[in-house]
Each structure stands twice: as structure tokens, then as C-alpha cells.
Structure 1
């Protein structure tokens, strides 16, 4: 009896390529999915991250197109693979390319944002693209622009990370793409976390689907719970977990001011390994990428930063550099949490728990992939300890680990840099503001409560010289924060060119300020004349929350204008003071 990939309905060319690439035995998700998807069956696959889902749909796509009675013309499309992020789409494209090349006439095309859409249209017209791999927005855009593209020949549609596609608001683009495709096609939905929205999409877009549910049990990592027609299997639920058994997840409880010393001590201990560190916001990533290389304990470390506000070329180069390095540290947001297969990642550090709890599984899934072992740790503040039980309910086991024995003294060094380099000072202020805003909008509000957050310690951890005026701080009396004796206005950029530009902008604003005085806002004056209306307590609380958020956004906008040189220090002070009084 044949075993392994040889038991599947795959061509000799694909079988040979699998052996060349070192694939000896299929993973459970591949074993359950490939025979179904190669046949006339739609599938909805639910399997933990790192289980080999990409090959589970790439191989059936190639085999179905190989079996066509006649080769497709250049303008005809045979398969569409949709991914939520550019990085994941490029990774899928790279995995698929060698298998696509086993069919002489087959061409694959990558369609993602960050590049010239007109160039993509021109490339399709010249070279064709029988297998389209891309993000929803760019795929929808190219399908509209390229009138010569023939989608009537599409045999297979794959939605990878289907839950994320819906969470990111791509439903309209997905509906537009699916409307253009023929009904007589095979469709596959793949994700590590199936949601009600994914199931609704599956019922609407799949024909007689088979659900493949591959879960991990305490007895055997990667054991197949079963696949069926939307009927749950009967494995004991207390034995099932959402992460591989080869992955050990730990948690550390520490104060905000201990987080950075904890991270530095951890990085020193694992300096010869690959580590991915996840932060809550892009500004927090920027702050860490500015600060860590300046600390004497980290000067010899290779550090990269990656988040969604970077240009696509920078993101691609950063990811490629980290993937190719034998050791190093990647500081990132959840833009690098889904599906990316970065080789030999030893540790995942969650400096901040994710805003969306479903991202936790995807973050830790960057290690312990394809049966390998891996480790992860998450830093929790004392009031966030309930998050451990919350994760255990979601079948994600965690173990507590002790604080590092002797923490490096980095706070004084960090403060010195903030008082002498405006780049560090401004990075800390932006990170603080973005962190507070993101924390306030956390999906698990019953655990991550802003009123439980020590804003003073948080401000210290970001090396703030002064506390900003913002709604969250009003009425808060026990800050546990000592302002710096250094005047923030006196702090200069160490980069002489940037400081020269800042000084020129300050002089220009002074001249403009002397030319005239801004008129008071009449709408605000009139608003004070409106008689007070007595509202129910619940309505007042809701209005207060909205007003607080609006004021926080206003202060954040003022800070951005100030940093860009659009407001002088005096104008910024007056504007924020006006908000404080009102």
C-alpha cells in the first residue's frame, strides 16, 4: 500500500518536486484536505496555524489545472487565491511558483498593493496569469481595470485566512470577486480560527462543502478530529487545544516600567536566536526600534522593524532580511501575525497582548511550525492576569514563568536619551498616545480596562518628560510619575539637518504668530449658551465616553501638527489649554 504523498492523486512531477523540497510525509491537514480538494468537493478547513495549510490548497489548484482538456489562453484565469496581507500573498506565491512550473503552459501572477496597478494590468496583458495570487483590494481593482481578463474559466477559488479577510473589512471586495467567477467552480476556505462570519460565507459561497476540522489533542499533536458535512466531531472538548503540543507558551506578570528591562534581559539571553516581538501599535514599534539600538545591552543585536504604515518595498526588504538571517530580532505589529512562514523562529515575545484576542494564536503560530518545537512568552500587567483564564477557555494553555532574576538598569539610560535627543522624546510621546488610544478600544474591555492602567508608570516606561493633556488623565490623582527637569522645548534633534529644519519652522511660525491672532471659535462660544438638558445616566455615560474619545483624538491631532511644524509651541500650549478648560 502506498503511503505519504504517494497515496494522493498527484502527478509524478509534483511528487518528485515534493521529495526534492524535503516533504516526506503530509501533515494531518494535508492528509485530510488534498484528496477532497483534488476531487469535486468544496472544503472549509479549520486547522491550527503552522499546520501546512498552504500546500493543502496549492497542490490541488495545480493538479486541477493540469487536468484541463486544453491549455488556457494567456488572458484566461484558472484559479484565484485571496490573502488578507501582502506579505502572506507573496509567501503563497513563492510556495506555488515551483509547483506551477511543473505545468509547461501555466503562469502565476502576484497582485498586491504598494505597486503600480497600471503596471500589473500591462504585465497581465503581456504574460497572462492563469493563477492569480493577491489581496482582495488589488484583485478587485485589476479585475475591473483589465477588460481582457477572462474569468469564465476559473476552476478554483481559495480564500486563505478567511476570518481575517472578513475582520479587515474586505467583505465588499470578496463579494465583488465572487460575483465575477462562475458558479461551477471549486472553493476552499482556510483559516486557523473559524468564526460565524466565515461559516456564513462558506454557506453562501460553497456548494455542498465538507468541513475539515484538524485539531490538537493532549494525546497527539496534530491529530485529526475529523471532517464531515458541517457536523461537529465528538472528540472530548477538554482534550482539544488551539496550538500545537510542540509549542510552549509562558506568561510573565510585571509592571509597565519592568517591561522594557524584561525584554532587554530576554534578548540578551537569546542573542543567538531568532525572536519576533509583537507590540500593540505602529508607534510602539517605532519607539522600540529607536530606543533598543541606543541601549548598551543591545548595540550588537540585529534589529528590524515592521508595521503596516511602512512602504511596501521597505516591508518586503525587512521581511526578507529577517527571514534570511541566522539570528536577530523583528519588532512588529499584527501585520506579521498571519500565515507568514519565517524559517527557524525560536521565540515569540508578546510585549503587549493583541487588541483582538483571535490574533494571539496567529502570533504564537510563527514558531513551532510543521511539527517543530517553539516557545512563546507574553508580558501581562498585574490587572491583566484574568487574560490567562480567558485564553485557557479558548483552549490556549499557558504556564507562568518567573521574572528575570537581575534586570538591566535601562530606565535611567532611556530617560537620558529622551532628554538629549528629540527623536527619542517624540517617539515616546507618540507611542504613549497611541497605546492609550488602542488600549481604550481593546476588544476584551472586561480585562483590559483603561481605568486600571497605571498611566504614570506607563508614561515613565515611554520616558515622557511631561504628561500630555488628555481626557484619560483628567481627575487621575495618583500618577506615580515624576516630570523631568528638562524643558521639552529645549530638546534638540541630534540629526543636525532635522534640527535645522525644525528651527526654521519655529521661526516661521513665530513670524506668522506676530502677524495676527487667531479668532475664537464662535461655535464653541454658542455651545456654552445652550441650556443643560437632563439625560438618563446611561445616556450621559455614553456621551461622556464619546466626548473623551473626541478630545483624545483632537489632542493627538494637535500633537501631530506640532511635530510636523504646523503649530508653534505657544499655539500648541494654547490649543491644549483651551481643551483642558472646556
Structure 2
């Protein structure tokens, strides 16, 4: 079918760039790319707003590369010509990866350097001394290199890009950015890319842009209901853990999923809880080294993991909100220092093929909700968002609905039709009181002995008794001490992988692929039988979809059937079966 949309080959791009675009599988530009690339190639300053996942990175990366390739035909001197500022280290790595894919056939002419990743500024000096064509970094890191005289921009810079502009001030980069502008030339082309037009973006517009062209595309902040399904379910703290266990174990949530929580400690608490039931997940938060975080994202995109439990940048905006109350000042200060101020995963990072976003803890602001949910339903892919809502978050939920709905009622969040009473049997697995354990223990012992005397396969019938009374208390086993030990173990392991083994992994990239981040941390005791779900616990509507039996139990049931006749599973031992109904038999030689 014919289309009036401008195509990549009609934009006057270099053949090498067009070949790289074809390798990426981009058949036609997105709306923001169609509008922004021609204007950028004309030398216009741009202020572009488009929703997350709309292709904003390529909208500025393509014209930057094209202009550098064009300038190389007349100017042979190697120098820094483009600076891309990002709010987080993760986004810096993402931009660098995109630039390298687009320069696959012209990597000798366009060199890209990311200076946002490492902690030591001096370690990056050799990279910048080679004067790469494009430098990617956070404002604070770029300013640090300028002050260290590793980077000089006032004479050669031609283009400045600010990606996710509405986040720069919220990350505390206002002072760094203003100081950085003093080291830039008077004339350069600027691009401001943002998902929203906030007051901070307007301030940046006055500082950086000169007679810009404003592109306000795709008025909806999130995809419509045909692409993105948004649901809410009202539940309190204990029910959150019950719900997430049930949804994941019964495979009601399928596909790669991001699970957002509010605090770093909540990451590990939820991970340890899921480990009790053999549900693997990896954590992603500000305490982990940046190289480990990027490796986790890469492996998630490659399909190594199904579930990531992550915090977003909002947990760092007010560190005091996630710390303990006053009175333990030293510990509070130490915990705050562990967090990376340039961390963020709910914005900018290109998580690929995310089927679901689960707000285990509902975000504190409307903007944070939009950025979290924007990790799914990207490009033309469908996605689902599910949010757990406590009673004290109803006002915030109403605010989110008002912002998202507007004049379009279809974009409202819909209640998730889920019957909590259908999964009440799972609650025994999540929480059993100590009093219930002590009262139930004698009954369980008596029942077990009786079943062993009567049935050939007593384990199958013992499930209801032991599951109700003797299942491990998964919630109580995830104590504060267990969470603390898990955090320390995870950080030590990631530091070992990212620092001491860095050189080894560079020489042996295949071994790096074998490094998994979703392994059990094992601070808590894990019962092997919790891995499987007995049939009696599964709601009737789902029994045809879920197969809870282990291979061993399935084989036992198959062996018990011979030529279509079910084998009797009990011994004919008269008088020794306490579960059979009592029968009175008259003895010989006795009188009535």
C-alpha cells in the first residue's frame, strides 16, 4: 500500500548509514524520526517531545552521524564534534550502543566514546586523548574531564544533544550543566529530547537553544488501549506477596517482566521471598556496580532472565525517605553513600521485548508511573501494566487516571478481574503463624503415620495436611538480617565479577555470558517441596492450564494404571486402618 511518509533513503543519508539502518530492521522511520531528521540536517535547533519508546535516540543519532560524515569530506583533522548529555549511566551505555550500531560501516570515520561508566576519571584520559568524534556522558562526568583537561570543547564542538532533558535537573545536574556551558563555543547546534515539557525543560530551552523548532508529537503520554493494557488491583502489604507468588507460579503473567519496588531493600526481600518457591529473579538497583547493571540489562534483553526486580530513580531523589528514622545517623549516612546518584532504569534504558510491567509498589508521582510503564509496549509491540494499590494510594491512583485519561476514556486503568478467594489456599504457603504450627504438629504426625500404614503412596495424600500446617513460613524467613546478608553477598559478588575478572571476561566473552545474576542468594532456608504446586491448591478454572505435578509424582500415577484399570492404593489390613469407618464384629463365644 502506498504511503506519503518520508523514508530513510529520501533524506539524503550516507549509503553506509542507510546500510546500518537496514541491518537494524527499520523499514520506515517513526513519526519523531520522520520530522526531526530532515530539520536537524538543515542545521535547525530542535526541542522535541515524544513518548518513551518512539525512537527519540535515533532521531538525533542519525543526523549527528550524517553531519560528521559530511564534515570529514572537507576537514581531515580529528576532534570532538558532538557531545551527548544523558542523566544516567545506563542511558549513556544505551546511547553508545545505538551509535555503534549505526556506525557499523563507518566506524573508522565516526568514533564514539562513553565516559559515563567508570568511577576513575584518570582511567578515561587515554580514550579522550584520541579525540573521539562523539562523546557521551553525564554533565558531572563531562565537567570533571574538562576540569582535568582531558577534554576540550570550546574550539571544535558543533552539536550538543541533551537526552531525557526533563530529568537532568531532577538528578541535581543544574549547577554542573550551567558550569559546562561556559566551556562550549558560542555557536553550535542543539537538540533537546524529552518525554515531557516541564519547567526544567523550558529553563534548558532558554539556556541552550536558539530559535528552535518545537516538535510536539504524539499527544498521548502512553500508547492507547489497543497496544497497552493497564490494570490495577487493590491489595495490602501481605496480599502483595501472595499475589505476586500466585501470578508468577501459575504463569498468569507470561513473558519478560519488570517488577518495580520503592526501595533497594525491597528488591532483596521480594527476591528472597520468590526463592522460597524456586522462582528465579535478578535485582537491579543503585548499589550494584554500573558494569554489572549494564550486563544485567544486556542479558535480560538476550532472554537470559524472565524477571527483573528493580528500583527507579525516584528512590534516589529523596534518600532520606528510604532510610531508617533518626537516631542511627552513622548507618544512615553509610547506606546513602552506597547509592549511585547517576542510576536510573525507568527512563531511557531500552529494555527489549518487555511484555509486562508490574508496579509491586505504586510509584510516588504521575511522571514516575509514566516512565515505568513506558518500558513496555515500545515501538509496535503490545504490553501490559499491572499495579498493586494500597488503600492510602487511592488518591494518587485517581491523579494518575486523570492525567492519562483526558478526553480518551479507553486509556484509563481498568480493575484486574481477579478473585482473591480463589487463591486463599496459597496463603498458607506464604504465612503460617507459630501458634498454628504448634497446634497442628501432633495432628500432622498422627495423620502421617495413619496414611503410611494404609496407602502405598502416602505422599500424595499428605499434601493437604502438611501444606496447610507444615509449609515453611516464607514471609517470616525473609527477615531483616536475611535481607542485609543478601545485599552484602550480591554486592561482593558483583564487585568481584566487574573488577577483578574484567580482564578475563574481555579475553573470554563466552564465559561472561555464562555469568548469571538471578542465582539464589540462600540466606534463608529453602524447602525443596515448595517448588511444586499440589493440584488441590489450583483454582478449578486454571487446572487445565497449569500442571503442578512433579515428574516423580506423575510417573507414580501413570504406573498405578494397568490396562485401563486403576490399581487399588490401599492395603487390605482389617483393624489397622484408623481412617476407615468403625465396624462392629461379634466375637465367637460371646453373648449379646
- Shorter chain as normaliser: what TM range? 0.5 to 0.7
| Distance in 1 of aligned mates of 2:42 and 2:287 | 41
Alpha-carbon distance in 1 for matches of 2:5, 2:403: 38
Q: Distance in 1 between matches of 2:305 and 2:523?
A: 31
Kindly tell me: are residues 207 and 493 of structure 1, through their superposed partners in 2, closer, same or farther at Cα, counting changes over 3 Å? Answer: closer
How far apart are 1:99 and its partner, in Å?
2.3
Q: In the alignment, what sits opposite 1:387?
A: 396
Correspondent of 1:37 among 36, 40, 44: 40
Tell me, yes or no, if structure 1 residue 318 matches structure 2 residue 327.
no
- The Cα of 1:291 is off from its aligned counterpart by 2.1
Superposition pairs for residues 80-479 of structure 1, below 5 Å? Answer: 80-103=83-106, 104-125=108-129, 127-147=130-150, 149-216=152-219, 240-245=220-225, 246-268=227-249, 269-270=251-252, 272-294=254-276, 296=277, 299=278, 301-325=279-303, 327-334=305-312, 335-395=344-404, 397-405=412-420, 406-407=422-423, 408-409=426-427, 410-412=429-431, 416=473
Q: Secondary structure at the match of 2:370?
A: helix
**CA separation in 2, counterparts of 1:419 and 1:391?**
34
Alpha-carbon deviation of 1:302?
3.2
> Aligned-pair distance for 1:40?
1.6
Instruction: Give the gaps of 5 or more residues in structure 1.
Output: 217-239, 431-491, 496-582
Indicate conservation of the 8 Å contact 1:80/1:132, yes or no. yes
Classify 1:139/1:366 alpha carbon distance in 2 versus 1 (closer, same or farther; 3 Å). same
The number of residue pairs the alignment matches comes to: 405
Instruction: Tell me: CA distance 1:159–1:398, structure 2 relative to 1, closer, same or farther (3 Å).
Output: same
TM-score calculated relative to the size of structure 2: 0.64
Tell me, yes or no, if the aligned pair for 1:65 and 1:155 is still in contact at 8 Å. no
Residues 424-476 of structure 1: CA distance to partner in whole angstroms, max 9, x if unpaired?
Answer: 5555999xxxxxxxxxxxxxxxxxxxxxxxxxxxxxxxxxxxxxxxxxxxxxx
Q: Measure the CA separation in 2 of the matches of 1:377 and 1:421.
A: 24
- 1:310, CA displacement in angstroms? 1.5
Q: Tell me which stretches of 4 or more aligned residues in structure 1 moved more than 6 Å.
A: 492-495
Cα distance in structure 2, aligned partners of 1:195 and 1:340: 20
> How well do the aligned residues superpose, as a CA RMSD in angstroms?
2.6
**Which deviations, in whole Å up to 9, do the C-alpha atoms of 1:4-45 show, x marking residues without a partner?**
212223222211221121101111111111111121211111
The 8 Å contact of residues 276 and 345 in structure 1, kept in 2 or not, is answered as yes
> Is contact 1:287–1:427 with CA below 8 Å preserved after alignment?
no
Q: For 2:6 and 2:49, how far apart are their aligned partners in 1?
A: 24
The question of whether the paired residues in 1 share the 8 Å contact of 2:5 and 2:34 is answered with: no
State the secondary structure of the residue aligned to 1:291: helix
Report the CA distance shift for 1:422/1:148 in structure 2 as closer, same or farther (over 3 A).
closer
**CA 1:494–1:365 in 2, change beyond 3 Å: closer, same or farther?**
closer
| TM-score of the aligned structures, taking structure 1 as reference length | 0.65
**Kept after mapping to 1: 8 A contact 2:228/2:377:** yes
Cα distance, 1:416 vs structure 2: 3.1
Contact 1:72 1:130 in 2 (8 A): no
Contact between 2:93 and 2:117, CA under 8 Å: does it hold in 1? no
